[in-house]
Structure 1
Amino acid sequence: MPRSAEVIRQWNVLRELEASRRATISGLAQKMDVTTRTIRRDLEALQVAGFPIFDELVDGKRFWKLDTKPFRKLGGEGETSLSLPELYALYFSRVLLEGLAGTLFKINLTSAFNKFEAVLTPGIRTFFEKLPNVLQVKAGRAKKGLGGKLDKTIARLIDATLLRRQATMHYHSLSSRRMKDYLVEPYRLLHFQGGLYLFAYVPEYKEMRTFAVERIKRLSLLQTTFKPSQKLSLELFAHSLGLNQGPPQRVEVEFAPKSAPYVREVKWHASQRAVDQPDGSLRLSLNVCVDQPLRNWILSFGANAHVVAPKGLATEIAAEFVRARARYDSGPGKH
């Protein structure tokens, strides 16, 4: 039997003991579809790991229980105490810290996780460490490691945001491909797809702009404070699949049967509505702004995606494929 299957089964034994309050070895064996001997070994292994499992005799019948009191100090009493799934979810979420590499957030969260782990027995930590080998978190389109050099920049941005202080920065603009100097009023820091972004008001242009923190080459905080002139929603860029703002439109995209299962199981946007078609295709509607992240998302499906509405977006996507075809036709190796 694969080692991962054993660990998962033991985890399910723990879940069952927590959910049912108490259980018999024969009952656990039946639910796990294994022998009673295997369950006995599992219970012994979990006890050795440090899980507070004990047995008691009730009316001549032996039951096994999981004492959850040791975990309550991590949360509180009653509904605020941590359950086993919550305990593991918190432990496993350390993997997500890789998305914050090179930031003060990672340093502080790592310190907090170290204190949390100290409450767990070495055996429980070892048991939990086996489970991430079964599960995997894929960051996807994450930025390259930013390195510790940004720590001071991020710390200053946090101060500027909290204290409402204006700042000057030397910034590398990708659109103009040159270094530019800005006077900014920082409003918020955002973490998105492995990158950290500054959302700030630029008085010179009288508008809000988004800056990639790793492209801030120099940052200085001024003594001048500012009074926020812009009202921000609780969730920025709510109508975009990326980091853009704009009025939402109803967008409908039909996906071929080949891509339909994948599209159906992912939550792309809070507004999405999916309707299965008789031929196995899927029509997805979203209320989003028509921006480059949306175009890139549609183009990523190639011929398996067809824009139904709006017509202007459909024309843009079709034209992009025509340009791609022309580039292939005139590319290297063509005579």
Structure 2
Amino acid sequence: MPRSNEVIRQWNILRELEASRRETIAGLARKTRVTTRTIRRDLIALQTAGFPIYDEVIDNRRFWKLDTKPFRDLFPGFSLPELYALYFSRALLKCLAGAPFQKDLTTAFAKFEAVLPPSMRKFFDQLPTVLQARTGRRRAGNEIDKTIAGLVTATLEQRQATMRYHSLSSRRTKNYLVEPYRLLHFQGGFYLFAYVSEYNEMRTFAVERIQHLSLLETTFEPSQELSSELFAHSLGMMQGPPQHIEVEFTAKRAPYVREVEWHTSQQVADQPDGSLRLSLEVCIDQPLRNWILSFGASARVLAPPDLAAEIAAELTRARAGYKTSSSKR
């Protein structure tokens, strides 16, 4: 039996003992679908790892219990699963590597780990081999780390900032005076949501494309309240009025599309031929276009007509590019 299965089973035993307060070996064997002999080995392994498990005879029946008092004393208010969730979140927080608070997070987790017995840490460390968090893309380098640190300071202290920014859409580099409102993390990248007085509007900037940032001593008063969901009508980091979007997916792609919640507004309609129609109430922006194009010939826009024509034209250009490449060989 793979070691990962053993660790998961032992973790489930711990959770069961905490939830039920007490359990027999036969009961644990039934719930985990293994033999009583295996359960006995698991209990010994957990005791060796430092978990306070003990047995007690009640009405001529032997029960096993988990003494949660040591955990409550060390971490008041936390259950065992909550402690592990916090411990495991180290991997999830790697997406913030380089942010100004990363050092503080590292120090905090080091203190948390120091309280756990070494054998217990070893047991916890085996669980991520079963459940792993993979961070998204991130541009390496000290400059972006300094930029993020500066933006956090500007946002917290409500200080204006000047920045030199390269736009991929216009392919131009321009200087901006901005009032930073919020820093957001999305799909491995950081984005700045800031007010630009020159245009009298809020704009979104990709932090990795900020070439230079300078904080000013001038402060600002926020002129508007930001929604907790800034981009509620977008599949990405854009804003705009929602429109009714309808896309049909082939029968081959339908199972994959059906099992994912792409947006909170989505509605799914299965078709007799096995295909699927997905309806969304979102703004028409580049993230939406990229998402549709990522399915290639497996997706067809049904509404609105303008978006359908735009996607069709893009696919035609892509096809022409392949033809041109073939003719040059």
Structure 1 residues 6 and 154: alpha-carbon distance in aligned structure 2, compared to 1, 3 A threshold: same
Q: For 1:128 and 1:22, locate their aligned partners in 2 and report how far apart those are by CA, in whole Å.
A: 22
Q: What amino acid is aligned across from residue 139 of structure 2 in structure 1? A: K
Q: Which moved more, 1:156-165 or 1:124-133?
A: 156-165
Do structure 1's residue 143 and structure 2's residue 138 form an aligned pair?
A: yes
Per-residue CA deviation, residues 234-273 of structure 1 (Å, 9 max, x unaligned), is 2211111111110001112222222222222222112222
Do structure 1's residue 186 and structure 2's residue 180 form an aligned pair?
A: yes
1:5-44 matched pairs, under 5 angstroms: 5-44=5-44
Q: For 2:274 and 2:84, locate their aligned partners in 1 and report how far apart those are by CA, in whole Å.
A: 38
Q: Which moved more, 1:240-249 or 1:309-318?
A: 309-318
Do structure 1's residue 204 and structure 2's residue 198 form an aligned pair?
A: yes
Structure 1 residues 208 and 330: alpha-carbon distance in aligned structure 2, compared to 1, 3 A threshold: same
Structure 2 counterpart SS, 1:104: coil
Q: TM-score, normalised by structure 1?
A: 0.91
Please, what is the CA RMSD of the aligned residues? 1.9
For the 8 Å contact 1:171–1:217, the answer to whether it is kept is yes
Per-residue CA deviation, residues 177-235 of structure 1 (Å, 9 max, x unaligned), is 34322111111111111111111111112222212222223222222222222332122
Q: For 1:144 and 1:163, locate their aligned partners in 2 and report how far apart those are by CA, in whole Å.
A: 26
Q: For 1:334 and 1:17, locate their aligned partners in 2 and report how far apart those are by CA, in whole Å.
A: 69
**What is the deviation of 1:11?**
1.2
Q: Which moved more, 1:208-217 or 1:173-182?
A: 173-182
**What is the deviation of 1:109?**
2.0
Q: For 2:146 and 2:225, locate their aligned partners in 1 and report how far apart those are by CA, in whole Å.
A: 28
Which of the numbers 108, 114, 119 marks the counterpart of 2:115? 119
Give the corresponding residue for 1:289.
283
**What is the deviation of 1:24?**
0.8
Q: For 1:274 and 1:256, locate their aligned partners in 2 and report how far apart those are by CA, in whole Å.
A: 13
Structure 1 residues 266 and 221: alpha-carbon distance in aligned structure 2, compared to 1, 3 A threshold: same
Give the corresponding residue for 2:3.
3
1:1-335 matched pairs, under 5 angstroms: 1-73=1-73, 76=76, 81-140=77-136, 142-145=137-140, 147-334=141-328
Q: Which moved more, 1:155-164 or 1:56-65?
A: 155-164
For the 8 Å contact 2:254–2:275, the answer to whether it is kept is yes
Q: For 1:196 and 1:74, locate their aligned partners in 2 and report how far apart those are by CA, in whole Å.
A: 35
For the 8 Å contact 1:183–1:203, the answer to whether it is kept is yes
Q: What amino acid is aligned across from residue 31 of structure 2 in structure 1? A: K
For the 8 Å contact 1:7–1:130, the answer to whether it is kept is yes
For the 8 Å contact 2:163–2:210, the answer to whether it is kept is yes
For the 8 Å contact 2:139–2:208, the answer to whether it is kept is no
Q: What amino acid is aligned across from residue 174 of structure 1 in structure 2? A: L
Q: Which moved more, 1:25-34 or 1:67-76?
A: 67-76
Q: For 2:112 and 2:248, locate their aligned partners in 1 and report how far apart those are by CA, in whole Å.
A: 46
**What is the deviation of 1:5?**
1.1
Structure 2 counterpart SS, 1:22: coil
Q: What amino acid is aligned across from residue 271 of structure 1 in structure 2? A: S
Q: TM-score, normalised by structure 2?
A: 0.93
Q: For 2:16 and 2:170, locate their aligned partners in 1 and report how far apart those are by CA, in whole Å.
A: 59
**What is the deviation of 1:129?**
1.0
Q: What amino acid is aligned across from residue 137 of structure 1 in structure 2? A: A
Give the gaps of 5 or more residues in structure 1: none
Q: Structure 1 vs Structure 2: percent identity of aligned residues?
A: 72
